[in-house]
Amino acid sequence: MQEFNLIIDGEKVSTNDYFDVINPADKSVVARCPKASVEQLNTAVAAAKAAFPAWSALTYAERRDKLMQLADAVEAKSEAFITLLTKEQGKPINGFADLGAGFEFGGTLAWIRSTASMELTPETIQDNDAAHIAIHRKALGVVGSITPWNYPLLIGIWHMIPALITGNTVVIKPSEMTPLTTLFLGEIAKDILPKGVLNVVAGAGEIGGAMSSHKDIDKIIFTGSTPTGKAIMKSAAENLKRLTLELGGNDAGIVLADADIEAIAGKIFATSFINNGQTCAALKRLYVHEAVYEQLCEAMTNIANSMKTGNGLDADTDFGPLQNEKQLEIVKALAQDAKERGANFLCGGEVVDETGYFYPITLVNNIQDGARLVDEEQFGPILPIIKFSDVEEAITSANRLSVGLGGSVWSTDIEKAQSIGSRLECGTVWINNHAMVQPDAPFGGVKDSGFGVAFGEAGLKEFTSIQTMQTSKS
């Protein structure tokens, strides 16, 4: 069994306490994870604070050089990362449409390299006889990163790399469900980055809570559920910490009467069930015009019936298990509520394999707003398909929930789709697609889905404060 350690001040650090990390495909123990104490967290924060002056004084080119070396070193361990990711998270090595662990790992490398290539330069807003005025961007200090269990490696990279390239130092705490790939990354990084620049601690909510109230952490970037995001915001008030909160979603997709169902059914299926539905910006509520409702339900059911759910280490597996038992119980409860309301299950809906936390790909129609499956984030492989006759109703439905991460409109009339899309209350709207993110396009939520954005120049700016420099010329 592989051994894991905390990474603090460039050293591997063992702990008194450990907890087991469970493989959700067979409930076996993948590894023992070191559990950080609050004292160890304090040591990690102190190391990050001490490393900040020298790291932030480097040029972008110097920091970029280190991060590119990190990408190469991570790439050299591809197979080990991908297998570990499948074991701790459950996602298949390849999976349906190649969207499994290999996809997350490929994204990890792409995001390190692409984000490390970006740079914030001073912006001159006035240069005349009176004065030169420029906006400079300065690193904040120590950034605390708290990540969830759905894309543990990739989301960790989304947090760390923009923080590091802009000159901050980092203490990251991965989810206690999936800490291993992040600890592995920290182990590789400690031989490349200066001591204390990147520290990895592991533990559950109490360590996350200690981070969000820590006086020497200047910013928290958090990806996870809305209730945890609200708790973090409360305790971050202590030292007026900067925050980026990437929280839960319940994205609506609206399929108009003129949509080309044959062309889009596969895409709708893939973007609803990506990562077994455990994706923040997956399509989670599908509103379909009555003219194409039966046709789309049939096309989606045909695809669903050809899918194989199983252990992600098996080459022919399309979808793995849910990552944990709690999430499986949520999915089962939402399905039960739908059944009690008389919804129709086009496929799936029953647990057939209890070796791991498996739930089959499930499509549910004859269901309306108000059902738990529609109103609550399922974060699993079950999709409600709701019929509408008037697009105004569908827009109202899409906007009626408190969350607003993403949304989509599917149509052959692009102008009409864009006009409807602009009325959706969400941070990203896709036309004839969903759930697509890329390193240069800002991504973030509105309403209860959080605030602040990731990616692109806007994402880098989140890790800096403005210093306006006015040089008088008269």
Q: Per CB under 6 A, does 276 bind ligand NAD?
A: no
Binds ligand NAD (CB under 6 A): choice among 86, 166, 175, 271: 175
d(CA 295, CA 301) in angstroms, rounded, equals 10
d(CA 439, CA 163) in angstroms, rounded, equals 14
Query: Two tokens at 59?
Result: 């040029």
Binds ligand NAD (CB under 6 A): choice among 92, 224, 348, 459: 224
Cβ count near 305 (within 10 Å): 12
Min CB(37)–ligand NAD separation in Å = 15
Min CB(445)–ligand NAD separation in Å = 5
Q: Per CB under 6 A, does 248 bind ligand NAD?
A: yes
Min CB(200)–ligand NAD separation in Å = 12
Min CB(399)–ligand NAD separation in Å = 18
Min CB(222)–ligand NAD separation in Å = 7
Min CB(100)–ligand NAD separation in Å = 17
d(CA 63, CA 80) in angstroms, rounded, equals 26
The candidate with the shortest Cα–Cα distance to 221, out of 180, 273, 164, 292, is 164
Burial of 31 (0-12, 13-18, 19+ CB in 10 A): buried
- From the list 5-13, 18-26, 244-252, 366-374, the region that binds ligand NAD by CB under 6 A is 244-252
Q: Per CB under 6 A, does 148 bind ligand NAD?
A: yes
Binders in 446-465 for ligand NAD, by CB under 6 A: 449
Min CB(127)–ligand NAD separation in Å = 39
Pairing label, strands 344-347, 362-365: antiparallel
Q: Which residue in 104, 176, 246, 462 is the catalytic one?
A: 246
User: Could you tell me where the beta strands, DSSP code E, fall in 36-186?
Assistant: 123-127, 131-139, 142-146, 169-173
Residue at 454: amino acid letter: A
Q: Which residue in 104, 176, 280, 426 is the catalytic one?
A: 280
Q: Which is nearer to ligand NAD, 167 or 380 (CB)?
A: 380
Q: Which is nearer to ligand NAD, 209 or 442 (CB)?
A: 209
Q: Which is nearer to ligand NAD, 173 or 289 (CB)?
A: 173
d(CA 328, CA 351) in angstroms, rounded, equals 10
Size of interface with ligand NAD, in residues (CB under 6 A): 29
Q: Per CB under 6 A, does 377 bind ligand NAD?
A: yes
Q: Per CB under 6 A, does 275 bind ligand NAD?
A: no
Binds ligand NAD (CB under 6 A): choice among 88, 104, 176, 218: 176
Binds ligand NAD (CB under 6 A): choice among 228, 309, 378, 408: 228
Asked if 97 and 307 count as a contact pair (C-beta separation under 8 A), the reply is: no
Cβ count near 123 (within 10 Å): 12
Q: Per CB under 6 A, does 24 bind ligand NAD?
A: no
Cβ count near 306 (within 10 Å): 10
Q: Per CB under 6 A, does 251 bind ligand NAD?
A: no
- From the list 31-39, 97-105, 225-233, 391-399, the region that binds ligand NAD by CB under 6 A is 225-233
DSSP for 7-46?
Answer: EETTEEE--SEEEEEE-TTT--EEEEEEE--HHHHHHHHH
Which helix (H) or strand (E) is 291 found in, with range?
helix 290-305
280 is catalytic: yes
Query: In Å, what is the CA distance from 111 to each residue of 118, 353, 431?
Result: 11, 36, 24
What does DSSP assign to residue 462? Answer: T
Binds ligand NAD (CB under 6 A): choice among 166, 199, 223, 271: 223
392 is catalytic: no
Sign of CA dihedral 147, 150, 156, 162: negative
d(CA 279, CA 263) in angstroms, rounded, equals 23
Binds ligand NAD (CB under 6 A): choice among 52, 149, 184, 293: 149
Min CB(26)–ligand NAD separation in Å = 21
Provide the annotated active-site residues: 246, 280
Q: Which residues bind ligand NAD (CB under 6 A)?
A: 146-150, 173, 175-176, 204-205, 208-209, 212, 223-225, 228, 231-232, 246-249, 280, 377, 379, 405, 445, 449
